């Protein structure tokens, strides 16, 4: 199944194949309003950049060591719609994630998972239709590792997303301010 412009791999193979980041990425300048900062970097498989396959990261300038999202995605066949494959939310300020029992099956159906959780490929994949579930990865599961630092977060994400050099992703330029409300 062709996914992106030059991509000839199925979505499952994109997720399961070892990937690497071709260069040291940088975070964007924080947004003026909310301090949201982003990082987007293409991914390589076997030394070849896969069209549309990216690691997307989000963090907030004034929320150090919390509310970070790392997501693996690929552009769809038309090149306009992004297909989310996996996401890891770390210490989300929104709290945990509630799995809708109509959209999620398995042991986490209808359950709420903690603020640090994984939206894994397998939980969000519809095998019979060879597609991802509708929505932005609606099913999540808790993770067993405590992930106490950004380095531990990226190490865990690297293992889940199979990105062998994810350690080159620098931490965001967080502002540690005791007086900020």
Q: What is the pLDDT along the chain (181 residues), one digit of tens a residue?
A: 334 434 457 999 999 999 999 999 999 999 999 999 999 999 999 999 999 999 999 999 999 999 999 999 999 887 789 999 999 999 999 889 999 998 998 899 999 999 999 999 999 999 999 999 999 999 999 999 999 999 999 999 999 999 999 999 999 999 987 775 5
CA angle 84–86–90, rounded 5-degree value: 120
The count of domains in the chain is 1
Reported pTM: 0.91
Does residue 164 lie within any of the structural domains? yes
**What does the alpha-carbon distance between residue 69 and residue 50 come to, in Å, rounded to a whole number?**
22
Domain range enclosing 63: 11-87+120-130+144-168
């Amino acid at each position: 199944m062709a996914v992106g412009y030059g991509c000839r791999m199925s979505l499952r193979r994109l997720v399961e194949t070892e990937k690497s980041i071709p260069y040291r990425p940088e975070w964007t300048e924080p947004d003026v309003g909310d301090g949201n900062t982003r990082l987007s970097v293409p991914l390589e498989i076997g030394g070849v950049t896969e069209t549309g396959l990216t690691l997307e990261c989000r963090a907030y300038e004034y929320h150090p060591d919390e509310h970070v999202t790392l997501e693996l995605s690929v552009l769809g066949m038309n090149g306009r719609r992004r297909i989310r494959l996996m996401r890891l939310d770390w210490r989300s300020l929104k709290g945990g994630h509630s799995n809708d029992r109509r959209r999620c099956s398995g042991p986490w159906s209808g359950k709420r998972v903690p603020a640090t959780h994984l939206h894994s490929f397998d939980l969000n994949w519809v095998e019979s239709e060879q597609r991802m579930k509708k929505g932005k990865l609606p099913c999540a599961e808790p993770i067993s590792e405590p992930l106490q630092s950004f380095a531990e977060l990226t190490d865990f994400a690297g293992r889940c997303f199979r990105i062998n050099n994810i350690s080159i992703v620098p931490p965001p330029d967080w502002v540690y301010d005791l007086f900020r409300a």
